[in-house]
Amino acid sequence: MMPVMRALSVLGLVAMSLVLSGCLVRTAANVVTAPVRVVSKGVDLATTSQSEADEARGREIRRREERLGKLEREYREQSEDCEDGKRSACEDARETYAEIQELLPTIPVDPERD
């Protein structure tokens, strides 16, 4: 009975060593490739592709165009109130007009709209 137990324990050790060696190889491979993955991820995060830059620029331009539209509506309302004799609306209209004038040069001209 003793030789059978010994054979089973040896067989178990061989099986365990095969399983563990696979784990060790996988772990070693992960350790070796980890710095490469970290560096490539860092480069991806640090660099912006041209398409990402274009998308960001487009979002910023749309944000300015929306702001300009809102200012123009406010200016129109303030001007009407100013014409109706409301002095505070006249001052508000002047301030809104100044903000419009600051914003206009930052919005590119669309050649199709001209």
pLDDT tens for the chain, residues 1 to 114: 556 666 666 666 566 665 655 655 566 566 667 676 777 777 666 676 888 888 999 999 999 999 999 999 999 999 999 999 999 999 999 999 999 999 999 988 877 765
Residue 77 lies inside a defined structural domain of this protein = yes
Residue 26 lies inside a defined structural domain of this protein = no
Residue 76 lies inside a defined structural domain of this protein = yes
- Other CB atoms within a 10 A radius of the CB of residue 107 amount to 13
Is the separation of the CB atoms in 75 and 97 below 8 Å? Answer: yes
Angle at 27 between CA 22 and CA 43, to 5 degrees: 140
Please give the tally of structural domains in the chain: 1
Which amino acid does the sequence have at 53? Answer: A
Cα separation, 77 vs 93, in Å, equals: 8
Residue 43 lies inside a defined structural domain of this protein = no
Residue 46 lies inside a defined structural domain of this protein = no
Residue 69 lies inside a defined structural domain of this protein = yes
What residues make up the domain containing 69?
Answer: 54-106
| Per-residue confidence (pLDDT) for residue 3, from 0 to 100 | 67
